[in-house]
């Protein structure tokens, strides 16, 4: 089996323990991963703390930090095929998705390389004539960045990029599920020439690694991507060190299709929105809300497309949907599907697992129009399961769309431009796509409301999350400051 190591303080090393990683396509172990425990975490955080204050990093100009990020971007682009193979092997995400996504990850590092020397302060027109006052934006300090297994190179780039551009140092925890690509990415960080301790990458389990990291007294900010339950634990842990937090959490994103929409285009976007990445995406369009008078026609289109999806080995370029990442995820998904059918949902297609090895679930569509209490409507399933409800008019559509504690993304398909503008205002979501879905760019921030978290990743907004404001007062009068206790 392949063996991987942590990257701490500029060195590659084994963990306090190790564990096997399973290939989701076969269910068999294929690699040995290092397991970080409290002592490993402490060394990583202390290394990041030292590096934050050391002249090798703190003394660099913002432009010089940008050059390091540009070097990292070039290395990521060159290594993309190898990283894609690792992500596919360790997470089950199909190779044509990992290849395309990781190649684009380099653009995020390039964007933040260019932004590094453009994080500006401000001059204040203060109301005191003998004072000059300005604001400096300075790095917040040591960042604990925690990412899940899905799209982990992307989800680490939207944390590492802005944090390093702002001048922070980082301890990055890869998920215990599928950490291989991030542990391999550490080689690129090393080759790019970042000073030791600026970036540290490790993996381990929540109770032994995650808790030690998020409660560490030298951590100043926690950037977390994952589910709401774990996020609640992260927030409770941050009470120990009063670290600020940015949370990119789950979603149950509504996908609204009106009768006047281009139904073929909407069907293609919906298939991509729920079955791409095997539905394992925080912005998956998992709730289809379709105008009642086109529901049957639209579901027929979706059923045919879902049943035509080529499910198979993730490393083959012909495969269109691969396995889920873990056995527990597959089993939980099957339970939710069965409970939803028992609650009255109509199974349009799918609903079962595939025979043979691996953690496969069929592309599944559940019509819940007559089953408003079906568990699939409110549960973030994180897999290839689409829940459907019909609406009668615009107000009904908005009521259904906003009837969720999540608020990450939403999609609107309509040819009525004024309706689209109205809905953009009314939908509670951090990202709204109109006549498209899942479009991303390093220039555009993303994030959510409610159980979908707070803070933003991508764009200038993300970089500002890793800064703190320092207010500077300068007295410009040559007159001596009067004695405050002498009456005049």
Do residues 157 and 109 make contact, with C-beta atoms less than 8 angstroms apart?
A: yes
Instruction: Write out the H or E segment, with its range, that includes residue 69.
Output: helix 62-91
* Measured distance CA(379)–CA(377) in Å, rounded: 6
Catalytic residue among 248, 320, 380, 457: 248
Q: Taking Cα atoms as reference points, which of 446, 403, 425 lies closest to residue 252?
A: 403
Q: How many CB atoms lie within 10 A of CB 435?
A: 15
Do residues 131 and 474 make contact, with C-beta atoms less than 8 angstroms apart?
A: yes
| Rg of the chain over all Cα atoms, to the nearest angstrom | 24
Question: Coil, strand or helix: which one is 291?
Answer: strand
Active site residue 20: no
* Measured distance CA(87)–CA(152) in Å, rounded: 9
| Beta-sheet strand order (sheet of 244-248) | 11-13, 6-8, 199-203, 169-174, 142-146, 221-225, 244-248, 453-454
Backbone angles phi, psi at 216, to 5 degrees: -60, 135
Q: Taking Cα atoms as reference points, which of 286, 214, 206 lies closest to residue 250?
A: 286
The secondary structure of residue 353, as a DSSP letter, is B
Would you please indicate which residues are annotated as catalytic (active-site) residues? 248
């Amino acid at each position: 089996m392949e063996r991987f190591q942590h990257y701490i303080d500029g060195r590659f090393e084994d963990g306090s323990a190790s564990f096997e990683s399973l290939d989701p396509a076969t269910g068999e172990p294929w690699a040995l991963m290092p397991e970080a425990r409290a002592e490993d975490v402490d060394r990583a955080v202390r290394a990041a703390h030292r590096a934050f204050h050391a002249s090798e990093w703190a003394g660099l100009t913002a432009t010089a930090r940008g050059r390091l990020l540009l070097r990292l971007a070039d290395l990521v682009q060159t290594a993309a095929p190898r990283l894609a193979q690792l992500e596919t092997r360790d997470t089950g995400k199909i190779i044509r998705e990992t290849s395309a996504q990781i190649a684009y990850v380099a653009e995020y590092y390039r964007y933040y390389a260019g932004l590094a020397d453009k994080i500006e302060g401000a001059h204040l027109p203060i109301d005191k004539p003998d004072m000059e006052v300005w604001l400096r934006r300075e790095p917040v300090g040591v960042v604990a960045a925690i990412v899940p297994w899905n799209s982990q190179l992307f989800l680490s780039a939207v944390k590492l990029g802005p944090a390093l551009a702002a001048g922070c140092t980082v301890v990055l925890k890869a998920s215990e599920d599928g950490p291989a690509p991030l542990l391999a990415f550490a080689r690129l960080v090393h080759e790019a020439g970042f000073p030791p301790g600026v970036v540290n990458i490790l993996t381990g389990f929540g109770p032994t690694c995650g808790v030690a990291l998020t409660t560490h007294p030298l951590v100043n900010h926690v950037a977390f991507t994952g589910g709401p339950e774990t996020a609640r634990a992260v927030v409770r842990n941050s009470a120990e060190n009063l670290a600020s937090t940015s949370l990119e959490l789950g979603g149950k994103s509504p996908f609204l299709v009106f009768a006047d929409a281009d139904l073929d285009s909407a069907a293609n976007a919906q298939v991509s929105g729920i079955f791409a990445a095997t539905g394992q995406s925080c912005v998956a369009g998992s709730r289809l809300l379709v105008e009642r008078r086109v529901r049957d026609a639209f579901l027929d289109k979706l059923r045919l497309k879902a049943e035509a999806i080529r499910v198979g080995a993730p490393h083959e370029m012909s495969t269109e949907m691969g396995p889920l990442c873990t056995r527990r995820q597959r089993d939980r998904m099957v339970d939710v599907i069965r409970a939803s059918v028992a609650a009255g949902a109509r199974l349009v297609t799918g609903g079962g697992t595939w025979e043979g090895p691996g953690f496969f679930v069929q592309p599944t569509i559940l019509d819940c129009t007559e089953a408003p209490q079906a568990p699939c409507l409110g549960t973030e399933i994180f897999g290839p399961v689409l829940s459907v409800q019909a609406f009668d008019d615009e107000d009904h559509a908005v009521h259904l769309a906003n009837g969720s504690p999540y608020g990450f993304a939403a999609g609107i398909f309509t040819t009525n431009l004024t309706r689209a503008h109205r809905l953009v205002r009314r939908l509670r979501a951090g990202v709204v796509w109109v006549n498209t879905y899942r479009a991303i760019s390093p220039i555009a921030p993303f994030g959510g409301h409610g159980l979908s978290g707070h803070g933003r990743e991508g764009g200038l907004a993300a970089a500002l999350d890793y800064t703190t404001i320092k207010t500077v007062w300068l007295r410009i009068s040559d007159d001596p400051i009067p004695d405050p206790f002498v009456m005049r």
